[in-house]
Amino acid sequence: MARVRLRVDDFNPLAAPLFSLFDPRSGAAEQLPILRLATTVLFGPDPASRLRDDRLEKGALIDTGAWVSVVKKDTWEQLESSGLVDHLERRAADQSVIGGTTSIGGQRLPFTFGRIWMAVIDTGVATPGVLPRRANRLPAVPVLCQLLQEEETVLKRPILLGLHRGVLDGRQLRRVPVPLQVTPHERSDVGPRYGQQWWLQDEG
Partner 1 sequence: MPELLPNTDQAYPPVADNVPISPGAILLGEALAMRLNTGDILNLRFFGGELESYRGEYIVAGPGGIILGHHARLKQAEALAAPEAAARGIPPGQLTDYFVPTLD
Of the residues 86, 87, 100, 176, which one makes contact with partner 1 according to CB under 8 A: 176
Question: Is the distance from CB of 70 to CB of 51 less than 8 angstroms?
Answer: no
Tell me which residues in 148-167 interact with partner 1 (CB under 8 A): 151, 153-158
| Stretch 33-72: interaction string toward partner 1, x if CB under 8 A | -x-----x-x------x--xxxx-x-x------------x
Residue 185 carries which side chain, given as an amino acid letter? H
SS3 187: helix
Total residues in contact with partner 1, by rule CB under 8 A: 79
Of the residues 29, 88, 110, 164, which one makes contact with partner 1 according to CB under 8 A: 29
Of the residues 104, 137, 163, 165, which one makes contact with partner 1 according to CB under 8 A: 137
| Span near partner 1 by CB under 8 A; candidates 29-37, 85-93, 107-115, 160-168 | 29-37
User: Is residue 127 a contact point for partner 1 (CB under 8 A)?
Assistant: yes
Contacts 24+ apart (CB under 8 A), 8-14: 8/35, 8/36, 8/37, 8/38, 8/189, 8/190, 8/191, 8/194, 8/196, 8/198, 9/35, 9/36, 9/37, 9/38, 9/61, 9/190, 10/34, 10/35, 10/187, 10/190, 11/35, 11/36, 11/156
Tell me which residues in 8-27 interact with partner 1 (CB under 8 A): 9-11, 13-16, 18, 21, 23, 26-27
| Span near partner 1 by CB under 8 A; candidates 62-70, 95-103, 121-129, 163-171 | 121-129
Of the pair 59, 142, the CB lying nearest partner 1 is at 59
User: What radius of gyration do the chain's Cα atoms show?
Assistant: 19
Please report how close the Cβ of residue 68 comes to partner 1 at its closest, in angstroms: 20
Name 31's bridge partners: 20
